[in-house]
Structure 1
């Protein structure tokens, strides 16, 4: 008795078609994919008869620049396909963009056309993969090499009969599938064994003969391989579809991306002297290649500067669309083919189970494999519905972005996601460079304000209130007045001391006169050094030392005058004074 009934695999497949299945594959929720998305929007005939989405008289194009400008060779969206309503909104994204005012004089200066030669693209031819031709000696060698990574032959035989996935891994099953003996090889080995019963078989021959003794070997291996690989195959299909669905939502709701498109459209309309409503997003991969003719900065740099200046709170886009980046690394054409192959392998597994059931006596094993295939069939049907609706939503998303309906089918999902992801990455890099330059300029302006000032003055300027500066000037004036008054009193005391000493000795009188001159000179230097600006003072260590000595001698002179020993130490005495 087979587990499928009289209808076979095809009948079982049709019986398992879900009527209202929840679109959920493990933890991936696709329940927002509606029934109407089973119909591709490109199959409707409403585009040709519907009025254009750019209704009304278009405004006149901007005045052409006076000089020849660098042109943007984008594909202008001259006429829309109609006010199509989808999940992302009504009409196209271009109709909802804000108007951006650009500095036309600056653009005219930056993007003045200058002839330049384009580098020739290098064409690389793909390398041909070598083709392996297997002969009898090579076949034996391949089997011997494969046996080194497999368990013993008796373990392999028991594991295949019981579908024991702990004894043999997925890679081991795939390896055994390549080593299964053909009918011709089996016949040759048996004939050789009968012809020479006393001679033992070689290692490879013995291995193939042991595998040939397993009933329905190929069917068992294929069924087991499908069971072990199904989870991985399903994950490789479901996760990219979920990323694509999520990526479209992330991009449609990204405000910074809209502002970039608006700024780029405004700049391009000025450079081209046109009034385009939008452009095909395939041009985004060329934005970084267009450079101005003055500073050699890219068009992306100027667009990013415009967005950062007008919208300082804008993001870098790239970090907000991770699902688009992941989708750009997936080949969705191969994914569609993998889904078809997964369905074929599931149907083939039903046939394999039918063959294995004829030779299998364990009812538990047959029921276990039957339940597994029923669950796989249900999940594959859901996966097909999800794939169809996600691709149809992608077509609707392209129409929302302004792509003409005639070219939507030609746009590959992977190529589109790669364009958006690479553009967002370039934008993030450019934005970081612009913000770094702005921070450096701000730091330079702060340093310029404190250039030529002492550290204490900088601290006072940064920490103290504005009234502190006035107090410092007042203290400076008080100190000057105090020093000047001190010098005058010192002169008066010196004169009185001179009159008292003059009666004692003529030599001391001469010494005091010289001392008064020296004192006046010292006081003048002291006053000048105090009243000078900090930056005008001499910074020589020798001068500082001399000034300290002068201050010390000045204090002694003002306090008690010059004694005879001090006069002799200064060399002011003479022979007449010595005699006295």
Structure 2
């Protein structure tokens, strides 16, 4: 064999330099690890850029959806305690490093008031939308209350209801009432009346509707017309200010 062939064979026989294995330290259970990795994939930017954007609350680098994603995946107190205990127990060097999920969350909680920072930022991002929703709810509740308090038709209807109740309770102390509990309205449809017709007995609701039509013609129809008091009250009853009643 030639000298060149000998040199080539010797080079091929040379052992490769030793490369120590990097140990990646994992603390999170696998479902939590996948959750964090999915979040990181949706953040797009690198770790340092994302964390700097959180520190500066930079809306040019993190969208409202990404801020919400960070807030949803922020570690609870017990998880932070586990991570900090792991920091004390493990030595991090060139051969021992945190796995991707642990590394990101540990860097996130190192940001001063990281949880409060994300909460305030998310609130700023969603405030206008939430305010608009709450304004609509408050407007419908206000319209319903105004219909109940200011409508002459509603006053006429409640007046006839009070009259009917006093008539039914005639001869008793309750027969001279100046008002009634609002939940009494729910019981009226269960109170039967003859209306002078034994074959077709009605309810107290039927009687009140007849009296309303006699004394205030067409007003009851107007209450239940589109855009009338009944519609305003139904809309208001469906709403809750606490959760925007959406």
Query: Please, what TM-score do these two structures have when normalized by structure 1?
Result: 0.30
Partner of residue 264, structure 1: 161
Matched, 1:320 2:221: no
Q: Is the 8 A contact 1:189 1:205 kept in 2?
A: no
Partner of residue 225, structure 1: 122
Kindly state the Cα deviation for residue 138 of structure 1 after the two structures are TM-superposed. 4.2
Kindly state the Cα deviation for residue 298 of structure 1 after the two structures are TM-superposed. 2.8
Partner of residue 9, structure 2: none
Kindly state the Cα deviation for residue 174 of structure 1 after the two structures are TM-superposed. 3.5
Partner of residue 288, structure 1: 189
Cα offsets for 1:476-519 (capped at 9, x unmatched)? xxxxxxxxxxxxxxxxxxxxxxxxxxxxxxxxxxxxxxxxxxxx
Gaps of 5+ in 1: 1-134, 339-580
Matched, 1:163 2:53: no
Matched, 1:279 2:184: no
Pair 296,225 (structure 1): closer, same or farther in 2 beyond 3 Å:
same
Tell me the distance in 1 between the aligned counterparts of 2:184 and 2:42. Answer: 52
Given candidates 181, 185, 206, the residue that maps to 1:301 is: 206
Pair 212,193 (structure 1): closer, same or farther in 2 beyond 3 Å:
farther
Given candidates 73, 77, 83, the residue that maps to 1:185 is: 83
**After superposition, where does 1:351-430 map in structure 2 within 5 Å?**
none
Q: Which one has a bigger Cα radius of gyration?
A: 1
Partner of residue 206, structure 1: 103
Pair 143,250 (structure 1): closer, same or farther in 2 beyond 3 Å:
same
Pair 147,306 (structure 1): closer, same or farther in 2 beyond 3 Å:
farther
Greater relative contact order, per chain length (Cα 8 Å cut-off, separation 6+): 1
Q: Is the 8 A contact 1:186 1:208 kept in 2?
A: no
Tell me the distance in 1 between the aligned counterparts of 2:114 and 2:235. Answer: 40
Partner of residue 80, structure 1: none
Q: Is the 8 A contact 2:53 2:61 kept in 1?
A: yes
Q: Is the 8 A contact 1:189 1:209 kept in 2?
A: no
Kindly state the Cα deviation for residue 186 of structure 1 after the two structures are TM-superposed. 5.0
Tell me the distance in 1 between the aligned counterparts of 2:84 and 2:65. Answer: 24
Q: Is the 8 A contact 1:144 1:204 kept in 2?
A: yes
Query: Please, what TM-score do these two structures have when normalized by structure 2?
Result: 0.61
Q: Is the 8 A contact 2:141 2:237 kept in 1?
A: no
Q: Is the 8 A contact 2:192 2:201 kept in 1?
A: yes
Q: Is the 8 A contact 1:180 1:218 kept in 2?
A: yes
Tell me the distance in 2 between the aligned counterparts of 1:170 and 1:312. Answer: 56
